[in-house]
Amino acid sequence: MSCDPRVATISANDRRTSTSDHTTALSNPILIDGSNVMHWKDEKADILPVQLAVRELTRRGFTPGVVFDANAGYKLQGRYMSEWDFSILLFLPESQIFVVPKGTQADPYLLDAARGFGASVVTRDRFRDWADAYPEVKEPGFLVRGGFRDTGEFWLAEVAPSTTMMVT
């Protein structure tokens, strides 16, 4: 399944709707399943787990991109939230965030982008429904787990750095 080509510019220096011809090097890209990770603390929608994941991955030398379902803003703030809205909350450039179109599933967008970048995905989702189309979900290290310990401490599993990808 092929998704909107605009998602290919996630984590790039352009706006996600750019159709420029230049190539951008991405250093250690990694994607965050924002709609999944935002439920890691007490199973309630909260931007804090996503903020912590972004901060930790950046500290580890990754370039995080975050993909959200269209309804994520409603769950967090009772209204639609755009890439710009999330960029303010996550302290990331708008180009590193993608909110999928209303009425579509985020999973194929997220998995297509991960495949295109050769990146891992931070999530608790196992994507079993997508395993035939995306067999990489079964590969060790592709899905990166995380959460909160009983002590309240945030944790993320170790992930091997991906190779630098060239995105056009």
Domain ranges, ordered by start, for the chain: 26-151
Report the Cα 90 to chain-centroid distance in Å: 12
The answer on pLDDT for 11 being more than 60 is no
Contacts of 168 (CB under 8 A, 6+ apart): 21, 22, 23
What is the DSSP pairing of strand 146-148 with strand 154-156?
Answer: antiparallel
DSSP-derived secondary structure letter, 82: -
Task: Quickly state the pLDDT bin for 161 (edges 50, 70, 90).
Answer: low
pLDDT tens per residue, range 75-116 = 999 999 999 999 999 999 999 999 999 999 999 999 999 999
Question: How far is Cα 67 from Cα 92, in angstroms, rounded to an integer?
Answer: 13
Mean pLDDT over residues 2-21, rounded? 41
Nearest-10 crossing angle of helices 48-59, 83-90: 70
Mean pLDDT over residues 30-57, rounded? 97
**First CA to last CA distance, the chain:** 20
The answer on pLDDT for 18 being more than 60 is no
The structure tokens listed for 113 are: 């982008």
Residues in the chain: 168
Amino acid found at 2:
S
Highest averaged pLDDT of the listed ranges 3-12, 24-33, 117-126: 117-126
Q: Which residue has the tokens 């998995």?
A: 111
The answer on pLDDT for 14 being more than 50 is no
pLDDT of residue 160: 75
What is the architecture of the domain spanning 26-151? 3-Layer(aba) Sandwich (3.40)
The structure tokens listed for 74 are: 């409603």
pLDDT tens per residue, range 107-153 = 999 999 999 999 999 999 999 999 999 999 999 999 999 999 999 99
Mean pLDDT over residues 31-43, rounded? 97
